[in-house]
Amino acid sequence: MRLLADLRDIFAAHERLTTEEILEALCELDESPWADIRGKALDARNLSLRLGKYDIKPKVLRIGERVARGYECSDLADAWSRYLPDISSGNEGRGIPPPGIETQGMTAPRSLSPAGVTSVTPATAFTPPAGPGRCPGCGFHTETQGHRAGCEAA
């Protein structure tokens, strides 16, 4: 998923890039592994294999007078939305590996909303814990905790 994140950064200002331009940009990124993968830089074939796991394939692009193989931003958009957190909202969600990625020792992610759920019970008002020595307003044990900030009973 590091590759997808780096490509999202590279494509931020571009609609389409040739494979050569992508490889050059990936290798120039600070602290990226792409310039030295087992002693060699990432090449076009390896890039294609890695992106193929996300069903992303290079295509022939015409850029000005030049014709070259490369990728368009729209080709990557689906993978970005599926496997990377949404950076615009600050959501730190978890990505799910694409098919074919080793997940040995991992458990399948649980659905956050079970099938068949049609409504949500609204939250009720806070009821402070009651008991000997507890404040009826905030529920704190007054001898050891004092009162919650803003407690009306204080």
Instruction: Report the largest interatomic distance among the alpha carbons of the chain, rounded to a whole angstrom.
Output: 83
Helix axes 2-10, 44-52, angle to 10 degrees: 110
pLDDT in tens, 55-110: 999 999 988 888 999 999 999 999 998 888 775 544 343 344 444 444 444 444 45
pLDDT above 70: residue 5: yes
DSSP character for 76?
Answer: H
Determine the Cα–Cα distance for residues 109 and 101; give it in Å rounded to an integer: 15
Higher pLDDT, 117 or 51: 51
> Which CATH number applies to 2-83: 1.10.150, 1.20.1550, 1.10.10, 1.10.3290?
1.10.10
Where are the CATH 1.10.10 domain residues in the chain? 2-83
Residue 91: its pLDDT value, please?
39
Tell me the backbone φ, ψ of residue 36, rounded to 5 degrees.
Answer: -145, 85
Residues in the chain: 154
Q: Are 103 and 97 in contact (CB under 8 A)?
A: yes
- Percent of the chain having pLDDT more than 70? 73
Smallest CA-to-CA distance from 69 within 81, 77, 61 is with 61
Determine the Cα–Cα distance for residues 135 and 151; give it in Å rounded to an integer: 9
DSSP character for 37?
Answer: B
- Percent of the chain having pLDDT more than 90? 35
Of the candidate ranges 24-33, 45-54, 77-86, 112-121, the one whose mean pLDDT is the lowest: 112-121
